[in-house]
Amino acid sequence: MIRKLLFFILLLACSPLLVWAQNWDAVQTSGDYYFGVGRGQTEVEADKAAMEALVSQIATNVSNDFIQIDDERTVNGTTEHKQRVLNCMKTYSQATLTNCERWVVGKEPDVTVRRYIKRSELQRIYESRIDKAKGMVEIAKECLEERKIDMALQYYYWAYSLIRSVQYPNEVKDKDGRILTDILPLRIRDILRNIRVEFIDRVDDRVNLSFLYDGKPVSSLEFFYNDGRSDNCEARANDGRGMIEMAPGVEKEAYHLHLNYEYIEQARGDAEMESVLNVITKKVIPEAGFRVEDKSGRNPKVSDLTPSLPPTTKLEKDLGVNLKPSKSQVISELADYDDIMRQVIEASRTRNLSNVDRYFTINGGLPRYRTLLKMGVARVVGTPKIEYFKGQDGRVVARGMQMSLTYNSRGRKKTFVEDVVFTFNTDKRIENVTFGLGQTATNDILCKHPKWNNETKELLMEFLENYKTAYCMKDSAYIRQIFADDAVIIIGNVARKAPASNAEGGSINREHAVSVQGQQVIRYNRYTKDEYLRNLRRCFGRNEFINLRFSNNEIQRLEKFKDKELFGIQIGQEYSSSTYSDIGYLFLLTDLTDHNLPQIKVRTWQPNEVEMEKLYHAGYFYDN
């Protein structure tokens, strides 16, 4: 009797193992699952091997039915096709294989991990990627309507690439029943056909160009060019202006440009998108290439020489500041300021400020401008058209000068074009130098709020210009000053396969996942002021350059706080550095009551794919 009881107890103790064993046998033999097994000294090592085995099994099983749209074929098509299918399936990482089960057997240093997923789940995973692609198509349409040409190209191409990575790309259609893999390349080509790149002038080795879409200056556009030595040169046109810098002594009859439509660098923060762009064969679009003739008269081989465009041509007028201030905001007949700016511009061209030091304040404007001139290689672009605005407390703000900043980072020459803003104090000395917001962001502030007085608009512009400049110049002291001690700081970045640093140096140890429609999981972290600044200093230290570009914005004043000037600022931000790039929405809840010491109460970031109604706004933090 005792023996029978012991046997029964042992049978109960072992039954879970028997059940699990039977379950694993069912996983392997039922035909309902894809599975993979990995062994290793650590659980992480074994899990990685199991995932690789699982993906390989899926690729082998679906390769015969997996349709690929490629631009190139080789003689050994069968082998190549299987390898490409395997590469495509590897883009479905653990983050996207959400219902993938995990079973650990044994302990380190001899551990086995079993990974398995129902075959029926595969179609749902494809559909999730298709939904993401269709969401990007809608974003691209909106960007095109707002003349954000770079972002329209990016999201059309990203959507096209995502669809090409699913099993049956030709079955993915839009609302009108059109096959997206057919129409998306056509949309990209239509955009490129409507872009015109024109020669303005050449000064020494710098070539100034205009970039127009449908006859109007583009907001932003990235392009690559050959400087006479390398094709690995990159630049960005802002507000219709772009510049290429030729290698010393190189003369050309024409300059060859290639507009960027892949935007691979911007995908660094999105593990899924980055992996897809790396494995899908690039779609070659001839319309992205431009040949721009040198019409400077420097090169005698050019047969149809025309003089350099004078500053009074329509082209130059279109590419001017083109701001939309009210007449009461603009100051005219400022001969003294014009004379100072003329001398400052000339000194900037020669990079010798000794003759104009007296026009700057010693502790403010002069060190700030010297810092700017040391950022990469800084040069004045074109013929500046200066406009003067009424600033705070009797100050005068000069806008309209543009400078190019060129860096040689990671073996690639990269150039940005920035507006430069000068603020004069009441003694007619330049007390501050900042980067401008760009036409889109500036016009939003000047035009969207007709009831606000000019001082309020200028206050907002100056605050955002100082904020942008502090990050570009890595001024952590100023950033510490403008963040309130109890500020709420939330940083988000697109989820990666493994823990990594985000754009501003934040770790992802305290994250919680938030699902957002049209976008995969985003990781959000909340920081104290000291944590944020500590990580920011690390970020500054490891990057040769940091560049911010602001676009459209919505600003809400919290009217119920009568004794304070509280504003919720929601603004599009393109972040670019030597190690990381992303595009998203920045939200700042700011107290501007003390005009000389603004305080950021809340700072958040969200990816560009988030729908507008799901973005952070002032109502999340204050009942307005």
Q: Are residues 554 and 623 in the same domain?
A: yes
Its pTM stands at 0.70
Is residue 451 situated within a structural domain? no
Q: Phi then psi for 273, rounded to 5 degrees?
A: -65, -40
d(CA 236, CA 217): 13
Q: Which residues of 545-560 are buried (b: 16+ CB within 10 A; e: fewer)?
A: bbbbbbbbbbbbbbee
Instruction: Mark whether 231 and 348 lie in a shared domain.
Output: no
Domain check: are 356 and 488 in the same one? no
For residue 620, the model assigns a pLDDT of: 60
- Mean of all residue pLDDT scores within the chain: 80
Looking at the structure of the chain, the number of domains it has is 5
Arithmetic mean of pLDDT, 238-251: 85
In this structure, are 291 and 153 located in the same domain?
A: yes
Q: What is the pLDDT of residue 231?
A: 76
Query: Phi-psi category of 544—alpha, beta or left, where left has phi over 0 and alpha has psi -120 to 50?
Result: alpha
Shared-domain flag, residues 266 and 340: no
Judged by average pLDDT, the poorest of 298-302, 371-375, 447-451, 564-568 is 298-302
pLDDT value of residue 362: 92
Name the residue range of residue 421's domain.
320-436
Q: Which of 262, 296, 330 corresponds to the end of one domain?
A: 296
Q: Say whether pLDDT at 619 is over 70.
A: no
| Same domain, yes or no: 144 and 287 | yes
- Asked if residue 481 and residue 423 are part of one domain, the reply reads no
DSSP per-residue string spanning 462-524: HHHHHHHHHHHTT-HHHHHHHEEEEEEEEEEEE--SS----TTS---SS-EEEEETTEEEEEE
Say yes or no to pLDDT of 344 above 90: yes
536 and 571 share one domain: yes
Distance, in Å, from the CA atom of 192 to the CA atom of 213, rounded to the nearest integer, reads 9
Which pLDDT score is estimated for 239?
A: 84
Contact present, 36 and 116 (Cβ < 8 Å): yes
Q: How confident is residue 314, by pLDDT bands cut at 50, 70 and 90?
A: very low
- More confident site: 624 or 351: 351
524 strand-pairing partners: 492, 512
Q: Which CATH number does the domain housing residue 359 bear?
A: 3.10.450.50
3-state secondary structure (DSSP) of residue 545: coil
> Is the domain of 176 the same as that of 207?
yes
Domain assignment present for residue 446? The answer is no
Question: Which residue has better confidence, 57 or 522?
Answer: 57
Spell out the residues 6+ positions from residue 329 whose beta carbon is closer than 8 angstroms to its own: 389, 390, 446, 454, 457, 458
Identify the bridge partners of residue 576 per DSSP, sorted by sequence position.
Answer: 547, 581
Indicate whether 128 and 104 sit together in one domain: no
Q: Is residue 308 assigned to a domain?
A: no
Q: Are residues 267 and 184 in the same domain?
A: yes
Tokens of 31: 């035909």
| Domain end marker among 99, 118, 137 | 118
Residue 396 lies in a domain: yes
In a domain, residue 454? The reply is: no
CATH number of the domain that residue 53 is part of: 3.10.28
107 DSSP 8-state letter: E
306 found inside a domain: no
pLDDT digits (tens, 9 = 90+) for 273-312: 888 888 888 899 999 999 999 887 654 433 333 333 333 3
Domain boundary among the residues 296, 312, 337 is at 296
Residue 610 lies in a domain: yes
Nearest C-alpha neighbor of 400 from the set 418, 377, 427: 418
Same domain? For 369 and 259 the reply is no
Tell me the mean pLDDT in the region 186-198: 95
Question: Which of residues 238 and 476 earns the better pLDDT score?
Answer: 476
Amino acid at 243: M
Detail the DSSP E strand segments found in 335-463: 377-380, 387-390, 396-409, 412-424, 430-435
Q: How high is the pLDDT of residue 325?
A: 65
The pLDDT of 347-353, averaged and rounded, is: 84
Which residues is 422 bridged to in the sheet?
A: 398, 433
106 forms bridges with which residues in the sheet?
111
Q: Does residue 105 lie in a domain region? A: yes
12-21, 44-53, 85-94, 272-281 — most confident range: 44-53
- Residue 601: both structure tokens together: 């109460």
